[in-house]
A and B are shown apart, each in its own frame.
Chain A
Amino acid sequence: MKRTTRNALCNLLLLAAGAALLLWVDRTFDRYVVQVLNLIAINTILALSLNLIYGFTGMFSLGHAGFMAVGAYVSSLLILPQAQKQTIYILKPLIWPLSVLQAPFFVAVLLGGLAAALFAILISVPVLRLGGDYLGIATLGFAEIIRVVANNIVPITNGALGLKGIPSYANLWWTYGWCALAVIFIARLVQSNTGNVLKAIRDDEVAAKAMGIDVFKYKVISFTVGGFFAGIGGALLASLLTTIDPKMFTFMLTFNVLMIVVAGGLGSITGSVLSGAVITVLLEWLRFVENPVTIGGFTIPGVPGMRMVVFSLALLCIILFRREGIMGMREWSWDMLFRGRTRGGEAR
């Protein structure tokens, strides 16, 4: 069998197995487990989108919470029932076209992503002229601006009260469906020559220019695709949690995504998928350190926020001892699995 056919077959089998697993999980486990599984999918989407921007194109962006906020607000406003809109907008009524607009969940999420992509294009024109740490600061500023604006344009975002009672359409099928889409699209993109071009910009911008690459154009493309999937992630998250407010989209949200990307390996798709699952589970599991613990007659009182201390320490350890993350820039592939048998066989 040809290598490419075999890999395609394996991918299909993996997708089918994933779908079967979802069906089983959906029927057997309680809501808490399902919620964590949903979060894994969403965090994976977010991590992939940041990895495209930071890991593959080398643009240090800290604006993810901003894109997520845009996606979350746009899609929530489109799926909130009209009656619910009238109830929650207490201070000022929702302005006209938004108060009657409705869209199916898929369209709403898509539009959330597109709106975030539009924001990405708009800010990329001034901001992508900066490089390195300066870009990080500028994008961080952008995310903060989005949050402050959301806090203050009450007739659209309902200000600090936020949106409540968002229909919880987001189930395992939606989240994993979008997650699969994000993995497939971004993986295929970075494997194509366009992906090579992005990596070239990351490695050596001057040489990339000399080789005829319109560096600015490709930076905008990468930033926009990343922004799009961040918006999708935000939209799904809003429907999963059923309530959003500006306080949710602080730097901590970006930090969580950044942690997943760094832990998984900058420039590795499989690394991001892997660490998306591991870190989301750890974040939940580590809640026990915040509860009172009794060890041999001693009772240690629970400290809220303790798990973030543990996580920051973990991140420190990653940076000190394994800077390249779980996967580094490598990818896990079917070839690795089958290599044992075909050693010395076909050249890649």
Chain B
Amino acid sequence: MSNGVVLETKNLTMRFGGLTAVQKFSACVEEGHIVGLIGPNGAGKTTCFNMITGFYVPTEGQVLFQGADITGLPPHKVCARGIARTFQNIRLFKNETVLQNVMIAGHVRQTSPWWGKAMGLPSAIREEQNLREYSLSLLDAVGLSQLAMEQADSLPYGAQRRLEIARALATNPRFLLLDEPAAGMNPQESEALMAFIRNIRDRFSLTILLIEHDMKVVMGVCEHIWVLDYGVCIAEGEPTAIRSNPKVIEAYLGEEAPVHA
């Protein structure tokens, strides 16, 4: 595992009118690591995700991916470069089957023209057959191959989460952003999720950045953590250091009341 920098943000700032959602957020993510972004509600974590993936154009600052400036690129181009994401509130293509959901994401790697399959172009038919098989193997990897022909929104909650990750993997990313993957999961499920995240990191040689509120998951799986509060990065470091950082405790639990004798 080489330790080059995959993603770098430089002084990333996002203002909505008078509100500064994120202020001068600078971070370096090394290849092959699983890193976390935490903070109280409304701290600007998802805004950071949206700036990295092209949904927001940052007011100031830069996003560098594998050394290239991707600031301001539209989301589909960012995805084509190799960054995939999931959403905080699951966003599957509800009316489609599980397999279709994954194939849709694989479309970004398809090279044949849009009319290829409809007009019976042999190369397009072959490409789509390959994509179909690859998508099925992805579903196998996340343990959903039994449900491939089910409609996506008929799946149980945990399976929908895994499908969303499988869908993101189908875009063949180098860098994966997970927005609260453990939300709504019970302790056993989040335990399994941690193993799952490490597993896909190794299997698809990914770098993963995740937002999470479940501290057990964050501390258990992340190798480096950034803490945001009111849009400002108040701490960064290893999980053990973050856990005992007084600023972080203050942000989460509030300031300790001064004790007067």
CB nearest to A328 among chain B residues: B95
CB pair B118–A188 under 8 Å, yes or no, is yes
Q: Report chain B residues within 8 Å CB of A210.
A: 53, 55, 75, 79, 84-85, 87, 91
CB pair B93–A204 under 8 Å, yes or no, is yes
Per-position binary interface string of chain B over residues 127-157, scored 1 when its CB falls under 8 Å from any chain A CB and 0 otherwise: 0100100000000000000000100000000
Say yes or no for B80: interface residue by CB 8 A criterion.
Answer: yes
Q: Report chain A residues within 8 Å CB of B149.
A: 347-348
CB pair B74–A209 under 8 Å, yes or no, is yes
Say yes or no for A128: interface residue by CB 8 A criterion.
Answer: no
Q: Report chain A residues within 8 Å CB of B118.
A: 185, 188-189, 192, 194
Among candidates A194, A204, A213, A221, residue contacting B91 with C-beta atoms closer than 8 Å:
A204
Q: Report chain A residues within 8 Å CB of B79.
A: 209-212
Q: Report chain B residues within 8 Å CB of A215.
A: 76
Per-position binary interface string of chain A over residues 233-263, scored 1 when its CB falls under 8 Å from any chain B CB and 0 otherwise: 0000000000000000000000000000000
Per-position binary interface string of chain B over residues 153-169, scored 1 when its CB falls under 8 Å from any chain A CB and 0 otherwise: 00000000000000110
Q: Report chain A residues within 8 Å CB of B116.
A: 192
Known A-B contacts A192-B117, A194-B118, A196-B100; the reply to A213 vs B95 at CB < 8 A is no
Q: Report chain B residues within 8 Å CB of A203.
A: 93-96
Among candidates B93, B120, B128, residue contacting A200 with C-beta atoms closer than 8 Å:
B93
Q: Report chain B residues within 8 Å CB of A189.
A: 115, 117-118
Say yes or no for B105: interface residue by CB 8 A criterion.
Answer: yes
A204 to B91, CA, bound (A): 7
CB pair B128–A199 under 8 Å, yes or no, is no
Known A-B contacts A199-B95, A207-B93; the reply to A213 vs B107 at CB < 8 A is yes
CB nearest to A214 among chain B residues: B76
Interface residues of B in 81-113 (CB under 8 A from A): 84-85, 87, 91-96, 100, 103-108, 110
A347 to B168, CA, bound (A): 25
Additional A-B contacts beyond A188-B117, A212-B76 (20; CB < 8 A): A185-B119, A188-B119, A191-B117, A192-B124, A194-B107, A196-B107, A200-B104, A203-B93, A203-B95, A207-B91, A210-B75, A210-B84, A210-B87, A211-B107, A212-B80, A212-B105, A213-B107, A215-B76, A218-B114, A329-B95
Q: Which of A210, A221, A329 has its CB near the most chain B CB atoms (within 10 A)?
A: A210
A65 to B256, CA, bound (A): 70
B155 to chain A, nearest CB (A): 15
Q: Report chain A residues within 8 Å CB of B62.
A: none
Q: Report chain A residues within 8 Å CB of B115.
A: 189, 194
Say yes or no for B13: interface residue by CB 8 A criterion.
Answer: no
A193 to B108, CA, bound (A): 11
A203 to chain B, nearest CB (A): 4
Q: Report chain A residues within 8 Å CB of B53.
A: 210
Q: Report chain A residues within 8 Å CB of B76.
A: 209, 212-215
Say yes or no for A110: interface residue by CB 8 A criterion.
Answer: no
A213 to B104, CA, bound (A): 8
Q: Could you name 22 residue pairs across A and B whose Cβ atoms are closer than 8 Å?
A: A185-B118, A188-B119, A191-B117, A192-B124, A197-B104, A199-B93, A199-B96, A199-B100, A199-B104, A200-B96, A202-B95, A204-B91, A204-B93, A204-B94, A206-B91, A208-B93, A209-B76, A210-B85, A211-B84, A211-B107, A211-B168, A211-B170
Q: Report chain A residues within 8 Å CB of B80.
A: 212
